[in-house]
Structure 1
Amino acid sequence: MQKESLKEKTAKGLFWGAINSGSTQLLNIIFGIFLARLLTPGDYGIVGMISIFTAIACALQDSGFSNALVNIKDIKDDDYNAVFWFNIIVSSLIYVILFFCAPLIAWYFHQDCLVELSRFVFLAFFISSFGIAQSAYLIRNMKNKEKAIIAMVSMIGSGLVGVVLAFLGFRYWSLAWQQVLFITITNIGRYHYSQWRPSWRINLRPIRGMFSFSYKILITTIVNTVSQNILSFIFGHLFKPQVVGNFTQANKWNNNASGFISGTIAQVAQPVLASIRDDGDREKRVFRKMLRFTAFLSFPAMFGLAMVGHEFIVTLISDRWADSVLWLQILCIGGAFAPIMGLYHNMSLSAGRSDIFMWCSIAQVVIQIIIVLTTHIWGIDVMVTSYTVFNVLWLIVWQHYAYKMIGVTMGEVCRDIAPSMIVAIVVMAVVYAVTLPLVNHNVVILLVRILLATALYAVVMKAAHVEMMDECLKFVRKKIKK
């Protein structure tokens, strides 16, 4: 009975996680298309240059305590309250530091406009500090339906403002306002749906109890942030804003697509795996099932985006972004494996092994930096390709630790992900070849390839009696009957 209850809870979490991630990414695509048509690669490049600072600041303000709140078995009101006030205190200090560092940031990137822009954009992470404890409450209680509503309202509100400002000629400021408004609206939604409220009784003692777990998350998050933004950071120093903008655009669409799968899985992975911690066989079975589901979604989505990359960019956001196509296609290959990497991350966190999470991430980013610095002399294409190949191969390291923690073997992992990967590759190759005669009709070929690839993938998976396909159809039919 308990197993069925967990299964139902996980299914509902995945359903609303998919709605949340799907709606967010769809709105991202819609508003992204409008903004890309109204703005230039240079505008995106200006904002992209400072993204690494905002991301690191967000990591510092949270300091891993939101993950710690999710992992605590018997949580108390004082735990939430301590994290709430800690986040506000730390984010206030960080904002002051970054405010006075703005001229140095502008000097590094050779862009004077970054002084005022960065000071405004950095307000986003300060505002977000007021909602981190509430966000942890929603995650811990798997309120994914509420999170989906918050995400949709935030995206629509901030997206509309961003588009209007871009139309009025505010250029990169429209992107800045979109970021600040998004987190502001998100926080309002978190307060609305969270049953927990902060109190003025400030007691930071619970922070000490979480520190041994959370500081490793903090270090890891900063390292991962550097990993995700290192190319834009180096591009911003070596190349013009237009180059940074084209890469930022490619990376954005790659992250939107892979983020849909990662977001769907992440909203249930850590809470579910943490709830069955130390139940060896069961934990392994649940992990493998999540792995199969992740591969089932990730490979067709990312390989499909790579296949239609040219038509997608040229048709939807104009040919002024054509230089970003190749980078998008390369990044999509790595993006297909990113959700699987994320599942490994959640597995280690649910097991309380934030130390493994930390050291694996540190080693990964150090090697990434070495690869980027040694390959950039051969051009951007070689650098992006080398970076992507390494990220895929790094899964081998995570698999080593997964075997130690829950006993899942490399052979089992390969059997879980191979069917979806192979079918996705074959389907995309067939669809690409069949639709080549339409190559001069971008709109037509984009629609035909998406529809044909989706249908063919579903038919092949159903005909092969792939477990994930059958379970997805069963769940959808059950939802329809309700």
Structure 2
Amino acid sequence: MIITFITAPILGRLLHPSDFGLIATSAPIIGFVTMIQNLGLTQAIIQRRTITKGQTNTLFWLSLLLSLTFATGLFVLAPSLARYFQEPRLIAVIWVGAALTVVSVIGEQPMALLTRNLRFRLLAVIDIIGIIVGAALGVAIAWYTRSYWALLVPLACTRFLNLIVAAFAARWFPGRPVWDEAARQMIGFGAGLSMFNILNFLARSADNLMIAKAHGSVALGFYDRAYRLMLLPLTQATWPLSRIMTPILSRLQGDPEEYRITYISSVSLLMLAVQPGLLCAVIYSDATVALLLGSKWAEAAPMFACLGFAGLHQTFTSTTGWLFISQGRMRDLSIVGLVSSTSTIASFAVGLPWGPLGVAVSYVISDYALRLPFIWYMTGRAGYVGVGDIYRTVGPHACGLLMSASALVLIKASLHAPSLIELGGILAVTYAINSAILIMFRSKRRLILQVLKVACRSVMLHRTSRKGRF
């Protein structure tokens, strides 16, 4: 996250909004192929209690065959897609993206095995190295060329690094496939998950495609930066945690109470860490966008504020997938995907005549009015975490955000354009108010105290180990 906060304003100042719009136009196309070529089989490997090398070989060769087929299709369709969006540069971008999808699917299998074996420290090292090297190369290319290719370098660097390091670390190389009943069950599991991913991806990408076609790449560039800035704290926090939680929850299915406590504790800490900062950024959206992207991106501030309001509840809602996947509830997950994607795309269409800001406003209204209550109901109607657990978990955080928002609005009335130092102080106040409200609830107070005890114990053990070495 620190590296992203450093590179985002640099790239935002070196490149033109149309460059970001070009990559944002290609992202749904490349991302769709990247997603469906795997068929959810990596998650099937993680969720499965027992698995053999022959079964993993079967899933690998199936994924690779699909990847090569779809990549070939992208190479053929690239000129037609460029003509449709009236963007000749899109041809080369799609060709490069198609090649990266093949690299991606080869590296996913050993990464899934590392995740299954809970080798989180190694996975973190791989991620961090990929981010650092990719960011450095991306900024260097942007500095010397002012080219949109700088935005693809971090992705390519991560894909190749995952492939090389994970394959050797997992000590896995493809061999002869074995087709048995377990392999068929995993393919069925993956197909259900893939259906949800496809529906969710269509919903997440439809806004980019609609805006690109109706309002052009410049308007899309502003919208895409606002959307990605909103997603930044969510993805940086939830993606590493989801990599940990899915295999852990899968192994706790035999202990429902421990399963429930583990999930509730994890999402409570996630909301405590992310929501106050996102709330502060939303209320001070003008200052946030100017600080992170630069003054020429001021048009993205209202879109960011609107989308960030939806991000407040998505901090929790995005974690419900852990429950569906770890419990193997693929039918419920597919229903959630169908309803969510349909309503999301419809909201984009409603707001499109009013431009990118209209799309954002329409999306947020439908998100709170329809998708939030529906997802909560579907999540809690079965499994180990009920609807009541969800309300008891989220309720105290909602109270904390309401009190924090009231204080921030009062502060903003007297401080319209805060400096960087003042903005940091406001952020600290937001976390302090939110934490003070949460401590008033017994369950949250116990959780916070437990975390502090664990942190203190870890510090003491670290100091003791250092003295022992000396």
Q: CA deviation at 1:395?
A: 2.8
1:277-322 Cα shifts (integer Å, max 9, x gaps): 2544443343333343333234213212212321121123211111
Structure-1 residue corresponding to 2:73: 97
The answer to whether the 8 Å contact 1:438/1:445 transfers is: no
Q: Specify which of 405, 408, 414 is matched with residue 431 of structure 1.
A: 408
Point out the more displaced range, 206-215 or 148-157.
206-215
Structure-1 residue corresponding to 2:456: 477
CA distance in 1, matches of 2:119, 2:374: 33
Structure-1 residue corresponding to 2:259: 283
Aligned counterparts, 1:80-479, within 5 A: 80-194=56-170, 196-203=171-178, 207-277=183-253, 279-392=255-368, 393-406=370-383, 408-434=385-411, 436-462=413-439, 466-479=445-458
Q: Gaps (5+ residues) in structure 1?
A: 1-24
Q: 1:327 to 1:296 in 2, by over 3 A?
A: same
Q: CA deviation at 1:362?
A: 1.5
Q: What residue identity is the alignment partner of 1:375?
A: G
Q: CA deviation at 1:116?
A: 1.2
What is the number of residues matched between the two proteins?
457
1:232-253 Cα shifts (integer Å, max 9, x gaps): 1111111121111111111111
Q: Gaps (5+ residues) in structure 2?
A: 462-470
CA distance in 1, matches of 2:134, 2:264: 38
Q: 1:246 to 1:365 in 2, by over 3 A?
A: same
Q: What residue identity is the alignment partner of 1:236?
A: A
CA distance in 1, matches of 2:130, 2:69: 27
Q: CA deviation at 1:358?
A: 1.3
The answer to whether the 8 Å contact 1:226/1:365 transfers is: yes
CA distance in 1, matches of 2:243, 2:43: 12
Structure-2 residue corresponding to 1:61: 37
CA distance in 1, matches of 2:410, 2:169: 49
Q: What residue identity is the alignment partner of 2:460?
A: K
Q: CA deviation at 1:436?
A: 4.3
CA distance in 1, matches of 2:281, 2:425: 13
Q: CA deviation at 1:459?
A: 4.5
The answer to whether the 8 Å contact 1:69/1:79 transfers is: no
The answer to whether the 8 Å contact 2:287/2:417 transfers is: no
CA distance in 2, matches of 1:407, 1:149: 33
CA distance in 2, matches of 1:455, 1:189: 41
Q: CA deviation at 1:427?
A: 1.8
Q: CA deviation at 1:426?
A: 1.4
Q: What residue identity is the alignment partner of 2:396?
A: P
Q: 1:447 to 1:281 in 2, by over 3 A?
A: closer
Point out the more displaced range, 432-441 or 140-149.
432-441
CA distance in 2, matches of 1:54, 1:170: 23
Secondary structure in structure 2 of the residue aligned to 1:440: coil
Structure-1 residue corresponding to 2:467: none
The answer to whether the 8 Å contact 2:277/2:431 transfers is: no
Q: What residue identity is the alignment partner of 1:437?
A: S
CA distance in 1, matches of 2:234, 2:273: 9
CA distance in 1, matches of 2:384, 2:291: 47
Q: CA deviation at 1:170?
A: 4.0
Q: 1:244 to 1:204 in 2, by over 3 A?
A: farther
CA distance in 2, matches of 1:60, 1:152: 26
Structure-1 residue corresponding to 2:464: none
Secondary structure in structure 1 of the residue aligned to 2:174: coil
Q: 1:384 to 1:40 in 2, by over 3 A?
A: same
The answer to whether the 8 Å contact 1:284/1:406 transfers is: no
Secondary structure in structure 2 of the residue aligned to 1:240: helix
Q: 1:193 to 1:469 in 2, by over 3 A?
A: same
Q: What residue identity is the alignment partner of 2:452?
A: L
CA distance in 1, matches of 2:451, 2:166: 30
Q: 1:117 to 1:378 in 2, by over 3 A?
A: closer
Secondary structure in structure 2 of the residue aligned to 1:406: coil
Q: What residue identity is the alignment partner of 2:336?
A: C
Structure-2 residue corresponding to 1:21: none
CA distance in 1, matches of 2:331, 2:357: 34
Root-mean-square deviation (CA, aligned residues, Å) is 2.1
Q: 1:463 to 1:283 in 2, by over 3 A?
A: closer
CA distance in 1, matches of 2:29, 2:179: 27
Q: Matched residues, percent identical?
A: 17
What is the TM-score of this pair, normalised by structure 1? Answer: 0.89
Q: 1:93 to 1:319 in 2, by over 3 A?
A: same
Q: CA deviation at 1:432?
A: 4.2
CA distance in 1, matches of 2:377, 2:405: 31
Q: 1:441 to 1:287 in 2, by over 3 A?
A: closer
Point out the more displaced range, 344-353 or 25-34.
25-34
